[in-house]
Structure formats: C-alpha cells, structure tokens
Amino acid sequence: MESVNRRTVREINQGEIREKEDSLLVELPLTLEVNGEEFVTMLCTPTNLDDLVLGFLFSEGLADGADDLAELEIDEQEGRVRVTTRRRHELAAKLYGKRTLTTGCGRGTIFYHVTDALKTHRVESDLRLSAGTILAALKGWGEKAELFAKTGCPHSAALLTAEGGILCLAEDAGRHNAVDKVIGRSLREGWSRRDKCLATTGRISSEILIKVAKADIPVVVSRSAATDLAVALAQELGITAAGFARGRRLNVYTHPERILP
C-alpha cells in the first residue's frame, strides 16, 4: 500500500490562486485482533507495520518480545492484523486503557494504569552522549524522514547510538506509533536498548515516557516540549529526558549526567 497519495490542491498565496499537485500522507485504520479478539483500531501510516504491531503489543504488555508472536498476519487492504501470542497476557488485555490505580497505591501517585506501574522499573545505564552528537543526529535526519519531506505531515522517531548514529528511523501520522515502530524494530533485531537514545520530533507526553521506560531506554530527546507529568515519571524512573533540541541547544529536564555539554 502506498504511504503517500497525490492530490490536486488549491494554493492561495497572497491573494493568488494556483492549482497544484500535492502529496498527502496516508492514514490507515488498522484493526488489531489478538488471539481472535478485536483489541484496538489504530490510525497509522502503512510502513513497517510488523514493527508497529510488535512495538505496540510490547508497550501494552501483550508481548514480551518478537518470539512471543506465534503468528502475525497483516492485511493492509482490509486494514486488519491478526496476531496469535504464545503466552496469554490476560491481565494486560483486560486492563488495557482502564484506570486502576489512584493515589496511595504504592508508586501509584503518578501512574494511571496498573500495568504501567508493574511493567516499568528504574532504568540503569552508563550511557553518555554529548549534546552536540544528539543535535547533529537530529539535524541530519531530514534525509531519512522521507515521508515528512514529501508531505510535511508525519512524526518520526529514531534510535541513536552513543556516537549519534541513527540505527533506525520510523515515521507515522501518530507520534506514539513512530515510537512503537522503533521499539518493535529493536525487538525484532535483538538490539540492546539500554545503551541507546530515543529521539523524536513529537512531544514527550506521559504515554511516550512510559513506552521508553518499558523498553529500557535511558535517554529520550525531543525536538518539541515535554509535559510536567512525563518529566515527573522520567525523574522517578531514572530516565534522562530532554526537549527543545533544535539548532545548537537543548533543555535537559532530568538525570542530566548522561548528556555531556
């Protein structure tokens, strides 16, 4: 399936009308069935769908890794994915999206889903990167973000090595999906993530931070902002979070020792 479609659009520029061909990002409603039951309909860009599905299932506690998927059948035309997992993660499936913690339940004051509280732990890592390395990687990734170059639409996420190499980069209409694609890829490839940095164009909200924590990634950097809740979670989980990484500067919100000036 194409991930970009061409359309004729009307550009109005300083009062002048011009009809032109433009490229629009495809948004595919993809319904995920897990062990025969409909689980969720995601809106996504049809690239690296196997990575997306694996990363999503991992983030939601429905798969522990690539080996956990006995079957993975993707029908792009129908917009359906059928997954069979080797082990049943019934609690995670049952609790998906449900708020099950309120204040007072141990670490529950800042977690709002019980599976997040159970599946995350403090990330331990000796990773050190320089701010210049991160900024150079962000500057250089324009060439790899092909769909953005064509449409100006998707978010992207990438896994960076300590030296600033881009191990993989994924784009998606949804910033959550771009992160899930990168995590899914790392699971399939068997890459260590504890010595890597996740960089993203999207904001670091609590949901993104929790994905990063579950994937055991010690550093997350965004071109955009981070929310207060994401920063509180990063502080608690030992994750270095940085934002507004643009040009020659960035802001480090938590555990700044991992980012060298």
Binder of a copy of itself out of 34, 36, 43, 188 (CB under 8 A): 43
Residue listed under structure tokens 């998707």: 154
In whole angstroms, give the CA distance from residue 261 to residue 249.
Answer: 10
Q: Which is nearer to a copy of itself, 122 or 249 (CB)?
A: 249
Q: Residue 244: which H helix or E strand, with range?
A: strand 240-246
In whole angstroms, give the CA distance from residue 176 to residue 159.
Answer: 14
Instruction: Work out whether 46 is an interface residue with a copy of itself (CB under 8 A).
Output: no
Q: Binding string to a copy of itself for residues 202 to 221, with x set by CB under 8 A, is what? A: -x-xxx--------------
Instruction: Work out whether 26 is an interface residue with a copy of itself (CB under 8 A).
Output: yes
CB of 251 to a copy of itself, least distance (A): 5
Whole-angstrom CA distances from 96 to 33, 71, 108, 229 are 14, 21, 16, 20
Instruction: Work out whether 165 is an interface residue with a copy of itself (CB under 8 A).
Output: no
DSSP secondary structure string for all residues of 169-202 = EEEESSHHHHHHHHHHHHHHHT---TT-EEEESS
In whole angstroms, give the CA distance from residue 108 to residue 258.
Answer: 27
CB of 247 to a copy of itself, least distance (A): 9
CB of 27 to a copy of itself, least distance (A): 4
The SS3 assignment for 216 reads coil
Instruction: Looking at residues 48 to 107 of the shown chain, list those that interact with a copy of itself (rule: CB under 8 A).
Output: 78-79, 97-99, 102-103
Binding site for a copy of itself (CB under 8 A): 4-5, 7, 9-17, 22, 24-29, 31, 38, 40-41, 43, 78-79, 97-99, 102-103, 112-113, 131-132, 151-153, 173, 203, 205-207, 224-231, 244, 248-253, 256, 259, 261
Give the residue numbers marked as catalytic: 105
